[in-house]
Structure 1
C-alpha cells in the first residue's frame, strides 16, 4: 500500500513525523537521522542553546545560535530530507524563534503548547510549511477559521496530539482522567471529528491538508489504527528516545528502558500545565511539596513567575538531557515503559511501518 505524503511542496517518503522533544532530546542528530531515513525530522527549539557558553547570561541569543547549528547538523545528515522545528507558543521570544527557524531554512514549523493563531503573520511569505498542534475539534476549527479569514491561508499540516502523548499535554487534568485513567471516553471519536473538519476546510479551498496523529503511537498496530482513522501520517516521539541517534544522554535513554508501567505518571509543570513523566527521586520531591532551589531565570515560558514556582523546568530538563536523571524531569509518552533496548532510527521506522508503507 502506497501512502503519498506532501508537506507544503516537499514530498515525504515515509509518513512518520518525529515529535519535537526539548530540552536537548531531539536536536540535529536525531532529526537528521529520521529525515535521512525518509521521515520528517523535527528539532525542538526549547532552550536549545543550553550547552552554549553564554546560555546563563545571554539565553535568547544562545538559543538562536544553537537553532542554526543544530539545523546545519541535521541538514548535513539529510541533504534532501524534510527537516523542521517544534516551537512552543508558550515560549518567551516565540516570534523571534519562528523567524530564525525560517531564516535557517526549515521546511516545517510545528507549533503547539498554546494556539498558534498568528503563526502565519510571524512566518511571513516564507516557503516554510506551518503545522499547528491541536487536541480538539474546537481548537482545530478555531485555528482554521482564523487563519483562513485573517491571513487567507490554511495550515500545510495539522498535528492531532492525543492524551497518551509525552511532555506538556493539551488537556486538563480532568480530561486526562477521562481519557486515560478511567477510560470512559475514546479519543478516536475526537480524531474523526478533527479530520472531518480539516477536510471540510481543505475541500473548500481546493487543496490538501494532511493530518498527523500523535500520542501513544509506539507500534505497527498503533500506526495502522491511526491510518485507519484517516490520518495521513503518524507523529512518533517516545520510540525515538531509545535510539542510538537520539541526542539525549545514554542515562536518559536507560531511564526509559528501566521504567515500569506504574512509574509513568501525570504531573504538573511549574506553570500549571499537566504533563507526563517518569516517577523518579526528583518528581517524588515535587509531589511531596518540596521547593527545589533553582538557577537564575532563563526566560523559557511566558507565564512562569520565578518567585512562585516549586522548581525550574529549564533546570530540570537540562539535568535530563545531561543524564543527571535523579535531579531531572523525565518527560515521556504513556508507553515509555515498553522500551526494552536501544535501537537505530531505521529499525524503529521499519517496526512502525512494516512492509506496507
Structure 2
C-alpha cells in the first residue's frame, strides 16, 4: 500500500493522507497511529505547555519509527520554547499556522526540518512560498476550528491556489472520505489533510462525549462564528447560542473574547462539557458515522479513493 507523488516524497510517507494537528485531540497516540498506518501523524502543540509537548514528542518517537510532525500555531504565547523543543528533538516536519511564515521557516529549515504552512487564500499561499516553505495546506471554509476570514470553499480555493504556486499543495477543509480526497486531488492537490474524521478516532485525546456528538451531527449543525475576534467553526450548543446572541446584538471583539474567556475549548473538546464548552469541528462531521481506530480510517479513505478513481475512469471512457 503505497503512493508516490511530490508530497509523499517530501514527507517520506507512504500515502498522501495527513492528520491535522487539532488542539485537545492530536497527541502522540493519534500521531503515531496515523504514521504507522502510512500517513503523516501530527501532534497538535497549540494546546500544550512546552514540557507537555516535549513528552509527547518523546512518546511519539518511541511509538513509531516513521516520520511525524508537529502543528505549531505561530500565535502561541511561548512559541520560542516550542521551537527549541522541536529543534532539540529533531522533529522531521513542522506545520505552521496563524501567523507570518517568514518568522521561523528559515530557522527551522536550517536544522533540516520540512516546513508546511496553512493558508486560506492564494495571496497567503504565495507569501508562504516566498518565505521558503516546502509546501502549503490550503484550508477551505468548511474546515473546523479556526478558519480564514475569506470564507472561500475548498472546491474554489484548491484550483485557485494551484494556479499561483509551484510548491506541493495539500487540500484541507471538508475532507473525510476517499471520494472527497479524489475530488481534492482532481482539483490540483497533491495530498489531503484531514481533521474532523480523526477527532473521531479511538486514539484521539478528545472526550468520548465530544466524539459521540460529532457522530450524531447532521448538515447545518456547525457554523462559523466569532468573526470579529478569531473566526472559528463550532458545533451548535449553548455556548454557540450565546456567541450568536452577542453577534446579533453588535458585540465588539472585546465582548466576544470576554465570553470566550480561558479554557473554553478544553472544557468542551477535552473535558466533554457539551453545553458550556467550545466544540470546534468541520461541516464534514455530518458524514462521520462512527468512531474507528486511526489505522482503519487511513486504510478506508485510501481504498475508497482508489475505488472512486476506478469508477470515474469508467464514466469517462
TM-score, normalised to structure 1, is: 0.77
Among 220, 231, 245, which residue is 1:274 paired with?
231
Instruction: Give the equivalent residue in structure 2 for 1:310.
Output: 259
Aligned to 1:162: 140
What residue in structure 2 maps to residue 216 of structure 1? Answer: 174
After superposition, the CA RMSD in angstroms is 2.5
Q: What pairs with 1:314-353 in structure 2 (closer than 5 Å)?
A: 314-353=263-302
Find 1:66's aligned residue among 35, 38, 52.
Answer: 52
> Residues 76 and 318 of structure 1: is their aligned pair in 2 closer, same or farther, counting only changes over 3 Å?
farther
Shift, 1:10, TM fit = 4.5
Please identify which structure carries the higher helix content: 2
SS in 1 for 2:185: helix
1:130 partner SS: strand
SS in 2 for 1:92: coil
Q: Deviations over 1:4-49 (max 9, x none)?
A: 3556864111111101101x2111111111011011111111121x
Q: For the residues of structure 1 that align with 2:25 and 2:60, how far apart are their CA atoms? A: 14
Map 1:135-174 → 2, pairs under 5 A: 135-145=120-130, 147=131, 154-170=132-148, 172=149
- Counterpart selection for 2:119 from 109, 134, 141: 134
Is the 1:25–1:241 Cα contact (8 Å) retained in structure 2? yes
CA distance in 2, matches of 1:137, 1:218: 23
Partner of 1:288 in structure 2?
Answer: 245
How much has 1:124 moved relative to structure 2? 5.7
Whole-Å Cα distance in 1 between the matches of residues 70 and 10 of structure 2? Answer: 17
Instruction: Indicate conservation of the 8 Å contact 1:115/1:132, yes or no.
Output: no
Q: Unaligned 5+ residue runs, structure 2?
A: 248-252, 308-317
Q: Does 1:93 align with 2:47?
A: no
- 1:121 CA displacement: 4.0
Counting only pairs closer than 5 Å after superposition, residues 200-215 of structure 1 correspond to structure 2 as 209-215=167-173
Residues 105-125 of structure 1 show CA distances to partners (whole Å, capped at 9, x for unaligned) of 211111112332222244261
Q: After TM superposition, give the deviation of residue 144 of structure 1 in Å.
A: 2.2
Alignment check: 8 A CA contact 1:99 1:122 kept: no
Question: C-alpha displacement at 1:221, in angstroms?
Answer: 1.1
Indicate which of 203, 210, 216 corresponds to 1:252: 210
Per the normalisation by structure 2, the TM-score is: 0.86
Q: What is aligned with 1:4?
A: 5
Structure 1 spans left out of the alignment, 5+ residues = 49-62, 148-153, 181-186, 200-208, 291-303
User: Which stretch of the first structure deviates more once superposed, 327-336 or 112-121?
Assistant: 112-121
Q: Check whether the contact 1:5–1:13 (CA below 8 A) recurs between aligned residues.
A: no
Q: Partner of 1:40 in structure 2?
A: 40
Q: Deviations over 1:116-148 (max 9, x none)?
A: 222224426111111111121111212322x2x
Which residue in 2 is equivalent to 1:241? 199
Match of 1:105 in 2: 90
- The 2-side partners of 1:105 and 1:283 are apart by 40
Local SS of the residue matching 1:261 = coil
Contact 1:219-1:352 at 8 Å conserved across structures: yes
Distance in 2, matches of 1:261 and 1:142, equals 34
CA contact (8 A) 2:129 2:135 kept: no
Look up the SS of the partner of 1:288 in the other structure.
Answer: helix
Classify the secondary structure of the residue corresponding to 2:165.
helix
Partners of 1:308 and 1:345 lie apart in 2 by 34
